[in-house]
Chain A
């Protein structure tokens, strides 16, 4: 099933609808989540730029897919600790010294598996946090989807945990969105 997500920008430049109108539009068009690309679209991730939007999205539990380095993810979570954020990392190298303190501090923060390729990392994350904090992603078409698939299929975790990462966690997060 193909589901739409919309990309958002800070409101200051007037390039998109005000947040309340955007939510109305999302409701009518069945768009359950939003995306942020701060590096590609050139903006800050702090409260100065997002004070008029993100608190509303957080209150409505709308998932925000955030593609940014972990230092910027941390900056965003410090500003909006209640936001529901699903983040890709910016590559494959081991990053858990950065990532795990954030998972400890922010219960609504989730990581995509496309950037979680360190040997044994899925198992270690599940052991430390349970399976609820990871959502499957492949990075396709930039990255090989079969590689991502086998990484999850081969992880030494329970079938229940594998099902949660493969689909259950994201399904739950999208269903929680109050449009």
Chain B
């Protein structure tokens, strides 16, 4: 396989690029009890970052997402305090806990290393358009926070069309479409193209399992049957929405950062677009948080 990109050649030769670092805007911390992930322990996470030349990752904590929001968000702060030059964080908002959310929102923007909110509507079973999210989204709008929202094609909770409605209502918040509304690619790129505060996220690159095939089952939605093909999705995003609207995300420790980096490095796009996706867009979105002055 040949690749004329100097960035890709440097990456293959050195294992990283000095001129094109990677900033990962979609990661998670801690174990997820539903499955075995060898990279989930914190020290292994840090090793993965080094292995793949990722200079910063923005994470939410699995415990906050799936088990105990309060405990998980506090565990996130511990990691941000211990490794401020490797990790930044999203504060998980589970809309089923309105009192905790109201308490947390008083000083969230002042918490060191917290750059925004993480919403998981498919799993918290509340549509992203619900008034239950309003207080958190008003806060994100007021403080121009990032909002990483899980999105999935045809979902009644977080389909890309629903996320577009919300983003239009809160124009100062910056919305990252986790998984880029997997399957409903056309609606996702339209939202990213038409709304200045909406971005596509590369955790759309791998195809997830259809867990309905497994004995245990899962809440994981099925991949859309009308769009099972993933190869070429980065080229499509860049062509339709522009490279300034696509950000790097790996879902670490779920997926290999090398897999996502490889998808970008070998995509048929310019090296300028690769710079945008791998670090420039994230640098613009994270701003002061990257130099630790927050």
Binding site for B on A (CB under 8 A): 69-72, 89-98, 117-121, 123-124, 139-151, 153-156
Contacts and interface: CB of A to CB of B under 8 A. Distances in A.
28 contacts: A71-B215, A90-B209, A93-B209, A93-B211, A94-B35, A95-B209, A117-B206, A117-B255, A117-B259, A118-B38, A118-B255, A118-B256, A119-B253, A120-B48, A139-B231, A141-B229, A142-B229, A143-B230, A144-B230, A145-B1, A145-B231, A146-B262, A147-B206, A149-B1, A150-B261, A151-B262, A153-B258, A154-B52
Interface string B253-284: 11111111111011100000000000000000
Contact of A71 (B1, B38, B213, B253): B213
Contact of B37 (A118, A148, A150): A118
A142 B207 CA distance: 10
Contact of B210 (A91, A119, A148): A91
B229 A91 contact: no
A140 B262 CA distance: 14
B117 interface: no
Interface of B: 1, 3, 11-12, 15, 35-39, 44, 48, 51-52, 205-211, 213-215, 220, 223, 228-232, 234, 250, 252-263, 265-267
A153 B53 CA distance: 14
B51 A150 contact: no
Contacts, number: 140
Contacts of A145: 1, 231, 266
Nearest to A70: B214
Contacts of A150: 11-12, 258-259, 261-262, 265-266
Contacts of B214: 69-71, 98
A149 B257 CA distance: 12
B231 A93 contact: no
A156 to B, nearest CB: 6
Contacts of B228: 142
A141 B230 CA distance: 9
B37 A119 contact: yes
